[in-house]
Structure 1
Amino acid sequence: MQQPRVVFVLFDDFQALDFVGPHEVFRGTGHYDCRVVATRARPVRTDSGLLIAAEHRLDEVDPATVDTLVVVGGPGVDAAARDPVLVEWIRSTASHARRVTSVCTGAFLLAAAGVLNGRRVTTHWAFAEQLSQEYPAVIVDSEPIFVRDGQVWSSAGVTSGIDMALALVEEDRGRQVALTIARYLVMFLRRPGGQTQFSTALWRAQPATDPIRAVVSAIHADPGARHSIDDLAARAGLSPRHLQRRFTAELGTAPAAYVEQVRVEAAQRDLLDGDSVEQIARRCGFGTAESLRRAFHRRLGVAPSDYRDRFRSVGTPY
């Protein structure tokens, strides 16, 4: 039986991890025929100076034989998007392939080929606004780790290409195969497509003093624990009023709001694992399913059940 062909498109100054991560996922299954192409068959230099052998020229790969197209990103993507031969080959291949994918700023190359018009896509958060401005026909969502819109998949920055590739493998070969590959790659966290590119620990300002650091660490270590203002104040060695003032000044948000955001993120992860909303609400510190639903509506604008249905349909890495 012929293996599905996965073709990786490289160009000078591409990001090595955009290619190597997904390539290792697909090759690790033993199920795919992986090919590496560039405008000319030669070693292609990454943005960090590594040389990767592109074993095939574009004209050596028939677009009609491609099952999954993977377009990587990197600093060289702007020059690549001005290469008419490369752009036309991507356009032609995308019209034949079962799936078309991009990693990081590879979305710019797909956009240049007209593949993303009218589609919802993601890219690295630092380039989302630029993608939206340069290609107004593309619907850019800078939040998710990866997005599926029909047969077009796109992923955020760098390592998120691994998450997307695992989801593609799960779609083709099932959850257990994807799990096996994830374990082999020593993937520590399962990241569903709907997970934001930023966790609370990243998008908030960082604590400036040891008492507030201790409080923040405790919240992230166990979101479901008791984190009342009195409990947090005792951990910080401050009065509740003093903690409230210090915490808000250092992080830009009140302690209660911070705790709720961390708990919502924990619930987002758990919702992909099959437990009931009631179980997740208790485990993540909300107490009741109704409290969890209210927090979800406040933070995300959707119900927990709708969130689960939406992102389970995309697939999870394992």
Structure 2
Amino acid sequence: MLRFWLKALRRPALDLTLTTHPGLVTRIIERPGRQLDDAALAALVEQLRSVAGRTLGSGALTYGVFSGERERLSQTIVTLITEKESGRPIAFNALAQMGVTLNGEPQEVTHLGLVMVDPDARGRGLSGVLYGLTVLVLFIRGGLRPRWISNVTQVPGVVGMVCQTFSDIYPSPDAGARQSFAHLTLARQIMRDHRHVFGVGGEAGFDEGRSVITDAYTGGSDDLKKSFDAATQHREPRYNAFCASELDYGRGDDLLQIGRMDLAAARRYLLGQLPRASLPGLLGAGVFLLLQRLVLPVLYWLDDGRRFGLLRPRPSKQTS
């Protein structure tokens, strides 16, 4: 029985399916390049390309998940929303896990990635799920430890949503926003080692003090470039004014925002953005993930038949 529970709790990566809106299903799949076979991986990539095609209307993205490369998809967490009856994909977010170093210790930064919503499905409150739900699930699985996040965008609506969802965001027009040494250190490493994650070419510049990427649309993300008027505005004017003043839309600038998911951010998200329909499924998944984080070490200790890290199995008795 103990070995059964060990097998159940030792899932190598997330693959959760939740009902977040009436008639819609949200699937969170971590590192699909490692989990899925060739056919399932190809089907997932085709679903993502389908949403992108309907969203962009023309043009094609070639970076990140759209490349179909298994290695790239092994560093990605895909959140895909589909219609329950037809199975038609209508929205997705492709998050990336970026390895960095902070204060001499290895860290992971979760990049919020590319979000796309089918034009026919807009106005249904999907953005809150796409931008926050997966990070919240990772936060729970991580034992409620603060988690660094990053976001690259020129869209005022997205800038405002990130500022209002997560903690300690920079850059931001909100009172008290400042660039700490941690913000600057992470930004430098992201721009040095992880430009391919968000489709920014090597020739793009970076204004460290303002955390602005200049001439950003040259590395595979060319079709995402927008004018200020075409970019989705935020309901609070300060975010629109901030983007208009900080970014050169003719050149194609982006903000590189860095912040954290912590208890305060999780509370804001649960109370303000999470759809009520998703609470039962999230509660069940959260309990399981916390069990995985808190109970699994105890089960490892009790199972004396196998080695787990530094723990050695008990020597078997020799019979004469």
TM-score (norm 2): 0.27
Q: Which has the larger radius of gyration?
A: 1
Which structure has greater strand proportion? 2
TM-score (norm 1): 0.28
Which structure has greater helix proportion? 1
